[in-house]
Structures are given as structure tokens and as C-alpha cells.
């Protein structure tokens, strides 16, 4: 069974993991797809196709965290037209769209570093950055709160996204 996110424990802090954060390339995609499949289940090929779209898409960023020559995390960001595609109570805009860290490398600031790099990239493009997560994903919600995000609503729907076992939380960093 996939492990979608870590259990939350505010008192647990590892030391910073040794990983290089950089823009992803084609060679990184198979390893990142395995990370996505391990966390979320589903078809490996579908995950790789989704990552290719992030890598090659206009107005998209795909970062990878490398350790010992292999991906141990990745994160994406970009423009999303959720409202235009039938979303409910969710605006089109610039979003942090994915963050996956190998369970063996969690609590080592890889997620924070990947998110900070995405925010730096987005700072030159927008004043408002959007993000959503499952309400049960406390580690992610807490990380983003510390980086300036606040909750906007739990009453929204994103096309193609289901919040298994819970509900979603839509958050923003900015003037909204």
C-alpha cells in the first residue's frame, strides 16, 4: 500500500539531508516516476507522462533532489487553469503542484528546500502562489504555513483530484 505522506510529529526534526536540488532533466524522470508510484500507486507510465508534461510544459518548473546519484524527491510548479477546466471555487493561477520525498529521506529539509526553490521561481511571476493538500497531510500543511501560506477554503474541487480519506485545503501565499 502506498504511503502518501508522513505522520505528523512536530517534535521530530532530522538533520538536513545531503541532497542537491536542481532543475530536472529527462534522465531523472524514471526515478521520479517510481517515487510518485510508491507514494500514490497507479500506473508508472502515467506518472512518467505527467512528469514529462511538467518538464516540457510552458510556464512549468520541475525540480529534483538528488542524493547518491538518484532522485530522492521532486517538486513541480506552474500555471494552472483549474477554473477554466471546470474546477469549483478554485482560481486559475500559479500553483505549487507536487512534492514527493522518498520516505527514507523525509524530515531532512528536502521538502522545504524544494518548496523554497519553487517559490523563488514563482516570485518573479506572481504575487499570489496557490497550493492545496489533503487536510490529513499535516507535515505539508505545516511546512507551507511556515513559508507564509494561509488557508482560503475547504469547499473547492480541482478537476481530476480526489482527496482520499479526507478533504482538501486550498491555501495561498500573497494578497488574496
Convert the pLDDT of each residue in 132-175 to its tens digit.
999 998 889 999 999 999 999 999 999 988 887 779 999 999 98
pLDDT, residue 105, reads 65
The SS3 call for residue 54 is helix
In the structure, what pLDDT confidence band is assigned to residue 19 with cuts at 50, 70 and 90? confident
Exposure pattern of 83-97 as b/e (b: 16+ CB <10 Å)? eeeebeebbebbbbb
pLDDT of residue 165: 74
Domain map (residue ranges) of the chain: 20-173
pTM: 0.86
Element (H, E) at 173: strand 168-173
- What ranges make up the beta strands (E) of 25-160? 60-67, 70-80, 93-101, 129-134, 150-153
Q: Which of 101, 96, 118, 119 is nearest to 19 (CA)?
A: 101
User: Given a cut of 50, is residue 81 above it in pLDDT?
Assistant: yes
- pLDDT > 60? residue 122: yes
What pLDDT is recorded for position 160?
87
Q: How confident is the model at residue 2 (pLDDT cuts 50, 70, 90)?
A: very low
Average pLDDT over residues 102-123: 87
What pLDDT, on the 0 to 100 scale, is given for residue 17?
62
- What residues have CB less than 8 Å from 9, skipping those under 6 apart? none
In order of 35, 36, 48, 76, the CA distances from 43 in angstroms are 12, 10, 9, 19
Q: 46 with 137: CB under 8 angstroms?
A: no
Q: Does domain 20-173 have CATH number 3.40.50.10860?
A: no
For 122, the 3-state DSSP assignment is: helix
Amino acid at each position: 500500500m502506498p504511503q502518501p505522506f508522513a505522520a505528523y510529529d512536530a517534535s521530530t526534526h532530522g538533520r538536513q539531508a545531503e541532497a542537491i536540488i536542481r532543475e530536472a532533466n529527462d534522465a531523472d524522470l524514471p526515478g521520479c516516476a517510481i517515487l510518485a508510484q510508491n507514494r500514490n500507486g497507479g500506473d508508472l507510465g502515467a506518472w512518467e507522462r505527467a512528469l514529462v508534461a511538467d518538464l516540457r510544459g510552458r510556464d512549468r518548473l520541475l525540480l529534483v533532489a538528488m542524493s547518491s546519484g538518484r532522485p530522492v524527491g521532486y517538486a513541480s510548479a506552474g500555471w494552472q487553469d483549474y477554473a477554466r477546466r471546470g474546477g469549483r471555487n478554485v482560481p486559475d493561477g500559479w500553483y505549487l503542484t507536487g512534492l514527493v520525498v522518498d520516505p527514507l529521506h523525509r524530515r531532512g529539509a528536502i521538502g522545504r528546500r524544494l518548496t523554497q526553490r519553487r517559490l523563488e521561481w514563482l516570485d518573479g511571476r506572481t504575487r499570489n502562489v496557490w497550493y492545496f493538500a489533503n487536510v490529513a497531510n499535516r507535515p505539508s500543511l505545516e511546512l507551507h504555513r511556515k513559508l507564509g501560506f494561509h488557508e482560503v477554503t475547504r469547499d473547492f474541487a480541482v478537476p481530476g483530484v480526489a482527496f482520499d480519506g479526507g478533504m482538501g485545503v486550498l491555501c495561498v501565499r500573497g494578497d488574496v
